[in-house]
Amino acid sequence: MHVNPYYEKLPGNYLFAEIARRVKAYSAAHPDADIIKLGIGDVTRPLAPAVVNAMKKAADEMLAPATFHGYGPDYGYEFLIDAIREKDYAPRGVALAADEVFISDGAKTDTSAIQELFAPDARIAVTDPVYPVYVDSNAMAGRLGDFTDGRWNRLTYLPCNAENGFVPEPPKEPVDVIYLCYPNNPTGTTLTAAQLTPFVEYARKYGALIVYDAAYKAFITSQVPHSIYEVPGAREVAIECCSFSKTAGFTGVRCAYSVIPHEVTGIGGNGQRVELNALWKRRMGSKFNGVSYPVQRAAEAVFSPEGQAQCAEAVRYYRENAALIRRELQTAGYEVFGGVDAPYVWMKTPTDSWAFFDRLLDQAHVVGTPGAGFGPSGEGYFRLTAFNTREKTAQALERIRRL
Ligand code: MLT
C-alpha cells in the first residue's frame, strides 16, 4: 500500500496541534508556569440552560421504545432544518428550501470535505491569512502543488493586511473556487456587502464557486452581511457553512449546518451543469450517518426565545473580552485590528510572529497564535482570542502590558 503522496508535502503539523505541542513541551519544562491560553478559538462559557434541557429531554426520549431514535436522516432532522430556515435565514430575506440545508458535526468538517466535489485539478484561491483547514484539505487532495518558501505554488493567495485595510481583491486570474470567511478568522475583520459584491461578480463571470464560512456571524454588530446570500446574485455561485460552535458553545457538542442552493452548479464530464446540492447529497448518503438526535434537539433549542437570549449573553461576554483585549493592547502601544464583529483580535508584532509566540509564552506565560501559521501575509501579526474567561483575559493582558 502506498500512502497518499500529498500528505508528504504538508508542512509539519496542523497549526493548532503544533501550538499544543509547543505549549505541552513548555509546561513539561516549566511545571509551575500558570499558562493562560488565548490561542485556539475554543469557548469557555457553559452551554445555555435551554440547550441542556432540550438535550436532557431528548436523552429521556431515547429510554422509551415509542420515542427512541435510531439512524436519523443523513441530511438532518426536519425540525432543525426548519428552525434554521425560519429563524436564521428568513428574517434576513433569504428563502431556503428544506433540502438546501445540511446538518453536520462541524464547519471544519464541511469546509474541508466540500473539496471532494471539486475536480482534482481545480484552481483554488484563499484570502491570506486564512483558516488553515481550507488549505490543508486541498493540499491533501493534491491540488496545491508544492510547498516552498512558505507558499503553495498552485494556490492563489489574496492578501489581506493593514495596507489594504484587510479588504482582499478578487483573483487576477481565473480560479475555480474561492474560500471566504467573514467575520474573518484569523483577522477578526469583516467585509461590507459592497466589498463582497466583486467576489460574487467574479464568481458569476468565471463560473467559480464561493465557499463562504460564516461560523462567526453571531458576533456581528456592524452593518455587514450575516450571510453571503444577502449579496445579490450569490445564490447561483455560493455555498455557506455555519456552526453552533461559537454561537452556542458547541465546540465539544458538535453541530453545524451548510447551505447549498439548487442553483449552484459545476461543469460535469459532458459539459452539462451539475447541481452541487445533488453531489453533496450523494456524498452524505455514502459517508455520513447524521448528527445524534439529542444534539440536534439541543441545536434546535438555540433558536427558541430562551435559547436565543441565553446564547446572545455568552456572545456578549466574549465581545466584551474582545473589547478589553483591543483596549489593553492599544494602551500598551500595539496596533490592533478586528475584534469588533468577531472574537479574534489581530495585532502587529514587533518581531516575527513565531518569535513573538515564544517570547509571550516564555515571559508572560500567555499563548496566542502566530500570524505566520495562517499564511504568508500573516507574518508580522499575531492572533488573540476572546474566548477565555474575563478574569484570565484581563490577567493575560496585564502580563502582556508588563512585557
Ligand atoms: C480557531 O482557533 O481558529 C478555531 O477554533 C479553529 C476551529 O474552529 O476549528
pLDDT digits (tens, 9 = 90+) for 214-254: 999 999 999 999 999 999 999 999 999 999 999 999 999 99
Taking the centre of ligand 1 as the mean of its atom positions, its distance from the CA of residue 39, in whole angstroms, is 9
d(CA 250, CA 295): 9
- State the cell numbers at 30: 516549566
pLDDT digits (tens, 9 = 90+) for 320-335: 999 999 999 999 999 9
Domain ranges of the chain: 7-46+308-402, 52-305
For 7-46+308-402, CATH gives 3.90.1150.10
Taking the centre of ligand 1 as the mean of its atom positions, its distance from the CA of residue 64, in whole angstroms, is 38
Residue nearest to atom 1 of ligand 1 (CA): 41
Whether the model pTM is above 0.85: yes
Q: What are phi and psi of 256, to 5 degrees?
A: -155, 175
Give 403's pLDDT tier (boundaries 50, 70, 90): confident
Taking the centre of ligand 1 as the mean of its atom positions, its distance from the CA of residue 32, in whole angstroms, is 27
Q: What is the mean pLDDT of the chain?
A: 97
d(CA 9, CA 286): 28
Taking the centre of ligand 1 as the mean of its atom positions, its distance from the CA of residue 40, in whole angstroms, is 6
Residue nearest to atom 4 of ligand 1 (CA): 41
CA dihedral 118, 120, 123, 128 (to 10 degrees): 80
Residues within 6 Å of ligand 1 by CB: 40-42, 108, 131, 185
CA distances from 377 to 41, 152, 370 (A): 20, 13, 11
For 52-305, CATH gives 3.40.640.10
Give 12's pLDDT tier (boundaries 50, 70, 90): confident
Taking the centre of ligand 1 as the mean of its atom positions, its distance from the CA of residue 274, in whole angstroms, is 32
Task: Name the helix (H) or strand (E) containing 369.
Answer: strand 369-370
Determine the residue of 37, 131, 181, 384 to mutate for testing ligand 1's pocket, defined as the one with the most ligand atoms within 8 A of the Cβ atom: 131
